[in-house]
Amino acid sequence: MDEPLKFLVDDTLRGLTKKLRMLGYDAVERGGASWWVTMALAKKEQRIILTLIDTLRASPEVTIWVLKSPDTNHQVQEMLTKIPQNIPSPEPLSRCLVCNVLVTEMPTEEAHKLVPPLVASHQSSFFHCPNCHRIYWQGSHYHKMIDWMHKWIE
């Protein structure tokens, strides 16, 4: 079975990276690297380059998807239509929005020691990033992200 796709997001698509991570996609940013470095990284890690630059050319080993819309939400829709149906979708909200690492479940007792008291009194399920140690729970931001996904991804 095929793996979910991985993306390298060009500087022309600021804001798209976080949305892709919300959807569970492995997405990294170009971050101003030279195009030589960008192409080499895309090839090495088998990432699809996402960009607005329609004149960009690559070797046959690198795939480039040129998006058209200047709106981030429409870019997500546009990008999703390019994914072949036989490629599985990743688990939404499974990646750290900051550093792209897969989050893991965190014991409630441990989380309660680290989150604000109000959060600890209302939440019992927590996830954390093993890289940057950010803690996630199903608070208002979670519900806003779910609403966004329902609105833009259907």
The crossing angle, in degrees rounded to 10, of helices 140-152 and 72-82 is 60
Residues 68 and 112 in one domain: no
28 bridge partner residues: 8
Tens of pLDDT, residue by residue over 128-149, are 999 999 999 998 889 899 988 8
Q: How confident is the model at residue 154 (pLDDT cuts 50, 70, 90)?
A: low
Residues 76 and 108 in one domain: no
Looking at 82, 115, 131, the residue that finishes a domain is 82
The single residue listed with the structure tokens 């170009």 is 30
pLDDT at 21 over 70: yes
Q: How confident is the model at residue 5 (pLDDT cuts 50, 70, 90)?
A: very high
Does a structural domain hold residue 14?
yes
Does a structural domain hold residue 1?
no
pLDDT at 34 over 50: yes
pLDDT at 1 over 50: no
Report angle CA 133, 7, 137 to the nearest 5 degrees.
Answer: 30
pLDDT at 53 over 80: yes
Tens of pLDDT, residue by residue over 65-114, are 999 999 999 999 999 999 998 999 899 999 999 999 999 999 999 999 99
- Per-residue confidence (pLDDT) for residue 121, from 0 to 100: 94
The pTM of the full predicted model, rounded to 2 decimals, is: 0.91
- Per-residue confidence (pLDDT) for residue 96, from 0 to 100: 97
3 state SS for the chain:
CCCCCEEEECHHHCCHHHHHHHCCCEEEECCCCCHHHHHHHHHHHCCEEEECCCCCCCCCCCEEEECCCCCHHHHHHHHHHHCCCCCCCCCCCCECCCCCCECEEECHHHHHCCCCHHHHHHCCCEEECCCCCCEEECCHHHHHHHHHHHHHCC
Q: What residue numbers bound the domain in which 138 lies?
A: 104-152
Does a structural domain hold residue 22?
yes
Q: How confident is the model at residue 3 (pLDDT cuts 50, 70, 90)?
A: confident
Does a structural domain hold residue 36?
yes
| Count of Cβ atoms closer than 10 Å to residue 30 Cβ | 21
Does a structural domain hold residue 130?
yes
Per the structure, the count of domains in the chain is 2
How confident is the model over 31-53, as a mean pLDDT? 93
Question: For residues 88 and 36, what is the distance between their CA atoms, to the nearest angstrom?
Answer: 30
Does a structural domain hold residue 32?
yes
